[in-house]
Amino acid sequence: MTALRCRDTQASFQARFQHILLRLMAPGLQLRSKWSVLLVALAVMGGTAAKADPARAELEMRVAIEEQVPSVVIGSSTQALLLDGDGDAIAQIPAGGAVVAEAEPRSISIHSWQDDAFWIQPEGDGYVYIGDSWYRGRTQVVATANGLTAVNHVELEDYLYSVVASEMPTSWPAAALEAQAVAARSYALHQRQHRGNPVFDVGDTTSWQVYKGVAQEAPSVLAAVDNTRGQVLTHNGRIIEAVFHSSSGGHTENVENVWSSAIPYLRGVADFDQAAPVFRWSEQISARDLRAKIPGLGNIIAMTPERVTSTGRVASMQVVGDAGRRSMKGSELRSLLGLRSTLFEVQPQMGRIASAGNNLVAAPSSFTISGRGFGHGVGMSQWGARGLAGQGYSYDSILGHYYQDTSLALISVE
């Protein structure tokens, strides 16, 4: 095994390391060391215990930080081992050092070494650096179909320290943060079982759960995760898909009105999100921009709901132009127009004269889109959780309101 010299890569990385380390050590931020805990059956979620020290039993998440990229900078805050794909040590990386992993056809190269995978294993309580952020745990880079994928292997509870802080303001009441911790833990393990693949369990974006690493952590979130350690929501003995969103606009939605099929625990309930800045919102779009976003219909004249849910969300809308008409899904319009939710209505603003043959007709110059809420509206409303916490409700009561007919349970790793 050799000591790895990182040359220019190390120098540029150390500059970033010093900058980020100062942020990590800012007053008030308490970084916890790794924990160990004894648990029971993971069979309920179909998972397996991660490889670890025999004296420790922990559940490890594999989080994709960079997917299918040509190269990535990886490093460690403490001295670390560089391991090959078989787990054999091939070099030492100095504290604050980094290397560049580069994709080759069906393999990865780091300096003169080439393999289908590499690991960086930091010593002690070191953090790993992937791309442009710091993370707990260790790093694996794997050769994938169109490049390489960098995966952060991190203990579940350490993962949640960042997820909860990335998904909810850290200044919110403890009960709301604790509800978010349980929902996020349940969602992660459900995704691990149903969407995970041989390389990673979850990603780090809103398509999974937002995970930004150590820089997001805060004492309030560490306490919320620790206070609910190992707790998940179950229905009929299985961990639920505990989806959540920012604000429903007054009432959450039955899941089948948003996605494909009914789920007993994802039913619409009254929300308590009236304090949300997105409880009501309005957007203005010009007729020209709307025509460009919905081509093929000429000048858009009207947008009329065809089908709405019981809470008023647009399931489908008839878009009428002077050159045709089209039925469009509410979710499609939300995406095309960049709207906060599908709980909206459209009002044309008349203001210009258009020529139609020999006749002059009034046509919209713009459209006002008025709506409520932010997100898909299914499961727990985060602003609603904040509202209930402010009224003195506990995290388990909050969860019971948004996820009907569920129970809290403790996960276990053998």
- Is 70 exceeded by the pLDDT of residue 397? yes
What are the structural domain ranges in the chain?
2-166, 281-371
Confidence of residue 395 (pLDDT cuts 50, 70, 90): very high
Residues 43-58, buried b or exposed e (16+ Cβ, 10 A)?
A: ebbebeebeeeeeebb
- The pLDDT assigned to 25 comes to 32
- Is 70 exceeded by the pLDDT of residue 46? no
- The pLDDT assigned to 53 comes to 35
- Is 60 exceeded by the pLDDT of residue 131? yes
- Is 70 exceeded by the pLDDT of residue 207? yes
Instruction: Give the strand pairing for 238-239 and 231-235.
Output: antiparallel
- Is 90 exceeded by the pLDDT of residue 188? yes
Which of 231, 250, 247, 249 lies closest to 239 in space, CA to CA? 231
Mean pLDDT, residues 280-296 taken together: 95
- Is 60 exceeded by the pLDDT of residue 21? no
Over the stretch 255-277, which tens digit does the pLDDT of each residue have?
Answer: 999 998 999 999 999 999 999 99
Confidence of residue 403 (pLDDT cuts 50, 70, 90): very high
Over the stretch 342-362, which tens digit does the pLDDT of each residue have?
Answer: 999 999 998 755 555 556 567
Query: Bigger pLDDT: 53 or 142?
Result: 142
